[in-house]
Amino acid sequence: MSIIIATVIIAFVIAFVLGMLLGFFKKIFAVHEDERVTKLKEVLPSGNCGGCGYAGCSSYAEAIARGEAPLNACTAGGAAVAQAIAKIMGGTAEVKSYMAVLACQGSKTCAASRGTYTGVPTCAAAALSVNGTKLCANGCVGFGDCVKVCKFDAIYMGEDGLPKIDKEKCTGCGACARTCPHKLIKKIDKERKAPMVLCSCVSDKKPDVVKNCSMSCIKCSKCVRECPEQAIKMEGGLPVINEEKCTACGTCVTGCPRKVIKFLEK
């Protein structure tokens, strides 16, 4: 009986000593988190969307505290979060609101199909294996990879086979733009006044372009010639609009024979 009691006492003493040692070493080697990081994590939306350029909200908060990240990079949080961050860091943050726009109008009724696709039903797989599901090699594949990665329920697939973006829900995080294998989704300023080219077909073979999609840019350069501000030029097979020169007069919008150039509010 005495052996059992002695064993219990010894075990208790050892456990007590180990507990004291653990507490001592924890205090000595403790890594103290910057108080600002804790406060920053509290104001960030915790969406971990990656729109800020970091792996998640925690990584972004730590980068801000180290002075390595801008105060206004959280697109999901918008102006309110940027201002809260600026208050914590004792600075100011100029905020822009962004949204995603699909630069393709090649719906089921407009773009000719390449054929029946029987592979893995994702845009990435179809683009890699057969260069997409449409004869236009740059067109929207239509399997909705962008819908799956949107953490804000801002994208859904329309009946016409194209993703639809809800500009009220869209935070401009850029997840859909990074996911699209054909880079058809663009992250743009919500306050953009200049019209946008809603086509990504870079082919210079006009007969094929006309045949493959009734809503594609046919490279006629009419917009370039008629722009009164000379704000448009052809680059890589598509018209590119200089936002600084553009006055949003609408000449290119009304003059485009294929209705490729449009104002975003419409």
Classify each residue of 87-110 as buried b or exposed e, where b means 16 or more C-beta atoms within 10 Å of its C-beta. Answer: ebbeeebebeebbbbbbbbbbeeb
Q: Which two tokens stand for residue 244?
A: 């600084």
* Rounded-to-integer distance, Cα 226 and Cα 224, Å: 6
* Rounded-to-integer distance, Cα 220 and Cα 229, Å: 18
Q: pLDDT for 11-60, tens place per residue?
A: 777 877 777 777 766 666 655 667 888 889 998 988 888 888 888 899 99
Phi, psi of 21 (to 5 degrees): -65, -40
Which H or E run includes 109? none
The pLDDT of residue 217 is 96
The pLDDT of residue 27 is 66
The pLDDT of residue 79 is 82
Strands (E), 94-149: 98-102
Indicate yes or no: pTM above 0.85: no
* Rounded-to-integer distance, Cα 77 and Cα 99, Å: 13
The pLDDT of residue 19 is 75
* Rounded-to-integer distance, Cα 217 and Cα 240, Å: 12
190: number of Cβ within 10 Å: 13
3-state SS class at 238:
strand
Residue ranges of the chain with pLDDT lower than 50?
none
The pLDDT of residue 213 is 96
The pLDDT of residue 137 is 92
- Which DSSP state fits 115? -
